[in-house]
């Protein structure tokens, strides 16, 4: 296999044993990016420093120095995660010139582990969307069918991994933004427990829901990334204590609950593959039962109330006096300048700011926001009860197959409804992972595996067990 | 009609976002549809359920200290006498 198609662990081993150099590997990747980007559009920025960085890693290895567990591994980073000296635009005009003066903790940890930052990836503006169509940099296309969406909002991250433009990537997941594109692009994407990974340097959208999450072609690659980035950070006090280390093991036949509401709401082609996945797990000695998660019917209303409320607050900081595009303040009065400048937010961001302002309006707080938090509490309670009986809960990551670009763009509610299976983990603060489960009509379907808070090892065991038994990984033809 | 054009215009003003007539027309019907969906929360008997609240106490937060970054952290060319220039207040 050519080096650019290798997983994170294989690349690090290959460079360390000097089977190939970091420079050769990165040059191959850059050629690959040049070849497939006109079709995929996964990247916002391709790093010019990647070759130089690879040479530094090669020299360290030649000199017998420690180069780190991810030495030479090329990773892409979603363009809402701060990278020192490299533009971080959030796919928005409001940050089109923003060059962060610091690295996010997750980026710093990857670099310290020897990783090479190959580029910044496309997303829906400020991570608001499920298709990567709401980007100032144009739509990212699905490597399995370029007329279809790659999912979102971390569509560039998942597409770049699927299209062999990097070994792994970092996305962010507020309501499924890592798992949705992972499912649509047939790669592995994980959202950790709230507090497992630092959010320092992640541009805020909905703080109580979002987490940075790794994307890779295999569970093994996701574990390699997770072990480097997870753990306490003094710059993010919502992180839990300690630096956990996860291993790759198949576990002993976990008790599996198939969430009835998830499967009932899925398209028949998706449901068929998920039922086959249940058979695969049962064949591996897992005890699988159907379970009900009744309060899931309120999950989307709760999620979109909380997410838009937090978004309207977070996006209030963009005044264009700092970071923004070139618009002189001369001749403007304070309010009219801001209103004019902020009209440059894209459609979906504006819509969410308005909905968020509505639900937080005087007299509506108790009707929407408070009830949404109560629904969140109820959902978490119900999940906790289920996790006393089951190690993991499973279902489809997305209820539908990847759809055509533009198909849902004029109907925001229809677009929101596809998030039904993923928002649950964010509301409950619990970990969830999407693993490729199969293909229907040539389009990918992902299996979502969810576990209780800080039970990542249990979740990864089940995901790895399924991955090894199902063997559905393929490479798209581009 | 549950959400009016005037309300959306007012919300746009509160959020300091200038909205064109075409946007007002589009957003009014879309926001109404979204709010109707959020009203689902009304159908749930939630009185006995405590909402989720943050576990971290304000006093536990890290000290609010300024960090010195090299170079230009503000990304603006509109400056005067070492200050960033904004629009006039009145």
More confident residue, A363 or A220: A220
Contacting residues of A for B46, CB less than 8 Å apart? 371, 374-375, 378
**pLDDT at A183 (0 to 100):** 98
DSSP state letter for A383: H
**pLDDT at A178 (0 to 100):** 98
Average pLDDT over residues A353-380: 94
- Counting one residue from chain A and one from chain B, the pairs whose CB atoms sit within 8 A come to 166
Q: Specify the CATH number for the domain of residue A332.
A: 3.90.1300.10
Share the mean pLDDT of chain A: 96
Contacting residues of B for A372, CB less than 8 Å apart? 38, 41
Q: How far is B81 from chain A (nearest CA, A)?
A: 16
Active site residue A154: no
Which one of A354, A376, A380 has the shortest CB-CB distance to B12? Answer: A354
Which chain B residue lies closest to A428 (C-alpha atoms)?
B52
Q: Rounded to 5, what percent of chain A is helix, strand, coil?
A: 40, 15, 40
Which one of A302, A357, A370 has the shortest CB-CB distance to B15? Answer: A357
- Distance, in Å, from the CA atom of A374 to the CA atom of A231, rounded to the nearest integer, reads 29
More confident residue, A14 or B52: A14
In this structure, of A243-257, A441-455, A456-470, the range with the lowest mean pLDDT score is A243-257
Q: Which tens digits make up the pLDDT trace of A413-434? A: 999 999 999 999 999 999 999 9
Domain count, chain A: 1
Probe site for chain B from A354, A363, A366 (most B CB atoms < 10 A): A354
Contacting residues of A for B7, CB less than 8 Å apart? 358
Q: What is the ipTM of this complex?
A: 0.93
**pLDDT at A242 (0 to 100):** 95
**pLDDT at A73 (0 to 100):** 98
CB contact under 8 A, A358 and B62: no
- Distance, in Å, from the CA atom of A240 to the CA atom of A232, rounded to the nearest integer, reads 5
**Does the CA dihedral A456-A461-A464-A469 come out positive or negative?**
negative
**pLDDT at B71 (0 to 100):** 67
Probe site for chain A from B10, B12, B39, B41 (most A CB atoms < 10 A): B41
Query: Which is the catalytic residue, given A78, A120, A191, A408?
Result: A78
The answer, yes or no, to whether residue A260 has pLDDT greater than 90, is yes
Probe site for chain A from B9, B31, B38, B46 (most A CB atoms < 10 A): B38
CB contact under 8 A, B88 and A332: yes
The four Cα atoms A429, A225, A103, A39 give a dihedral, to 10 degrees, of -100
Half-sphere exposure of A458 (CA within 13 A, CB side): 19
A305, A356, A464 from A352: Cα distances, Å: 10, 6, 37
**pLDDT at A473 (0 to 100):** 81
Contacting residues of A for B33, CB less than 8 Å apart? 412-413
Contacting residues of B for A97, CB less than 8 Å apart? 75
Which chain B residue lies closest to A306 (C-alpha atoms)?
B38
- Distance, in Å, from the CA atom of A106 to the CA atom of A111, rounded to the nearest integer, reads 9
Which chain A residue lies closest to B63 (C-alpha atoms)?
A235
Domain range for A462 is: 1-478
Residue A170 in contact with residue A160, Cβ under 8 Å? no
Active site residue A130: no
Q: How far is A293 from chain B (nearest CA, A)?
A: 15
**pLDDT at A295 (0 to 100):** 94
Which chain B residue lies closest to A100 (C-alpha atoms)?
B73
Q: Which tens digits make up the pLDDT trace of A4-38? A: 999 999 999 999 999 999 999 999 999 999 999 99
Active site residue A268: no
**pLDDT confidence tier of residue B52, bands split at 50, 70 and 90:** confident
- Distance, in Å, from the CA atom of A323 to the CA atom of A101, rounded to the nearest integer, reads 12
Q: Which tens digits make up the pLDDT trace of A162-201? A: 999 999 999 999 999 999 999 999 999 999 999 999 999 9
DSSP state letter for A251: -
Pick the CATH number of B1-35 from 1.10.20.60, 2.102.10.10, 3.40.50.620, 3.40.50.10470: 1.10.20.60
DSSP state letter for A203: P
**pLDDT at B46 (0 to 100):** 67
The answer, yes or no, to whether residue A204 has pLDDT greater than 80, is yes
Residue A307 in contact with residue A371, Cβ under 8 Å? no
More confident residue, A92 or A322: A92
**Structural domain boundaries of chain B?**
1-35
Q: Which tens digits make up the pLDDT trace of A357-367? A: 999 998 898 89
Q: DSSP for A215-243, please give it.
A: EESSHHHHHHHHHHHBS-BTTBTTSPSS-
Q: Which tens digits make up the pLDDT trace of A207-218? A: 999 999 999 999
Q: How far is B47 from chain A (nearest CA, A)?
A: 8
Report the share of chain A in percent with pLDDT over 70. Answer: 100
**pLDDT at A360 (0 to 100):** 95
Q: How far is B56 from chain A (nearest CA, A)?
A: 7
Q: Which tens digits make up the pLDDT trace of A266-300? A: 999 999 999 999 999 999 999 999 999 999 999 99
CB contact under 8 A, B87 and A334: yes
Residue A210 in contact with residue A112, Cβ under 8 Å? no
CB contact under 8 A, B56 and A301: no
Q: Nearest-CA neighbor of A344 among A119, A89, A77, A43?
A: A89
Query: Which is the catalytic residue, given A21, A47, A130, A153?
Result: A153
Token code pair at residue A318: 């963009």
Query: Which is the catalytic residue, given A177, A204, A312, A434?
Result: A177
Q: Which tens digits make up the pLDDT trace of A434-451? A: 999 999 999 999 999 999
Q: Which tens digits make up the pLDDT trace of A305-345? A: 999 999 999 999 999 988 889 999 999 999 999 999 999 99
Q: Which tens digits make up the pLDDT trace of B58-90? A: 777 777 788 777 667 777 888 888 888 899 987
């Amino acid at each position: 296999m050519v080096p650019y198609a290798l997983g994170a662990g294989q690349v690090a081993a290959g460079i360390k044993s000097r089977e190939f150099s970091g420079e050769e590997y990165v040059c191959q990747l850059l050629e690959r990016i040049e070849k497939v980007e006109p079709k995929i559009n996964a990247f916002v920025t391709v790093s010019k420093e990647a070759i130089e960085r690879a040479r530094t890693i090669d020299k360290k290895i030649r000199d017998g120095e420690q180069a780190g567990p991810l030495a030479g591994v090329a990773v892409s980073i979603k363009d809402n995660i701060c990278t020192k000296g490299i533009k971080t635009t959030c796919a928005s005009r409001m940050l089109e010139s923003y060059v962060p003066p610091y690295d996010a903790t997750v980026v710093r940890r990857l670099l310290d582990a020897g990783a090479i930052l190959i580029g910044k990836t496309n997303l829906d503006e400020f991570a608001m969307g499920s298709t990567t169509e709401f980007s100032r940099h144009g739509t990212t296309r699905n490597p399995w069918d370029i007329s279809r969406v790659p999912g979102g909002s971390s569509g560039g991250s998942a597409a770049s991994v699927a299209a062999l433009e990097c070994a792994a990537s970092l996305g962010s997941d507020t309501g499924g933004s890592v798992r949705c594109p992972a499912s649509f692009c047939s790669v592995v994407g994980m959202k950790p427990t709230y507090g497992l990974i630092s959010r320092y340097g992640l541009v805020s959208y909905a703080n109580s829901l979002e987490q940075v999450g790794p994307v890779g072609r295999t569970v093994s690659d996701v574990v390699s990334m997770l072990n480097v980035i997870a753990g306490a950070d003094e710059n993010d006090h919502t992180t839990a204590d300690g630096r956990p280390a996860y291993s790759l093991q198949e576990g002993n036949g976990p008790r599996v609950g198939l969430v009835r509401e998830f499967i009932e709401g899925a398209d028949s082609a998706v449901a068929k593959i998920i039922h086959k996945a249940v058979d695969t797990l049962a064949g591996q000695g897992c005890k699988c039962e159907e379970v009900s998660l009744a309060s899931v019917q309120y999950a989307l209303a709760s999620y979109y109330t909380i997410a838009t409320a937090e978004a309207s607050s977070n996006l209030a900081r963009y005044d264009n006096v700092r970071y923004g595009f070139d618009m002189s303040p001369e001749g403007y009065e304070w309010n009219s300048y801001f209103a004019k400048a902020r009209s440059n937010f894209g459609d979906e961001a504006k819509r969410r700011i308005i909905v968020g302002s509505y639900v937080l309006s005087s007299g509506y707080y108790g009707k929407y926001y408070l009830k949404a938090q109560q629904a969140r509490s109820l959902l978490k309670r119900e999940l906790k009860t289920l996790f006393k009986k089951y190690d993991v809960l499973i279902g489809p990551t997305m209820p539908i197959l990847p759809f055509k670009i533009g198909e849902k763009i004029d109907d925001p509610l229809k677009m929101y409804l596809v998030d039904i299976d993923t928002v649950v983990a964010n509301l409950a603060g619990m970990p969830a992972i999407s693993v490729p489960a199969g293909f229907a009509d040539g389009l990918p379907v992902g299996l979502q595996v969810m576990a209780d808070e800080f039970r990542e090892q249990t979740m990864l065991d089940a995901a790895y067990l399924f991955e090894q038994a199902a063997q559905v990984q393929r490479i798209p033809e581009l | 009609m549950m959400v009016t054009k005037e309300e959306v215009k007012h919300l746009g003003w509160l959020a300091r976002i200038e909205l064109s007539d075409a946007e007002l027309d589009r957003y009014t019907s879309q926001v109404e549809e979204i709010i109707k969906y959020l009203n689902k929360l009304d159908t749930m008997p939630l009185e006995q359920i405590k909402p989720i609240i943050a576990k971290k106490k304000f006093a536990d937060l890290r000290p609010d200290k300024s960090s010195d970054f090299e170079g230009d952290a503000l990304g603006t060319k509109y400056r005067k006498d070492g200050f960033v220039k904004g629009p006039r207040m009145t």
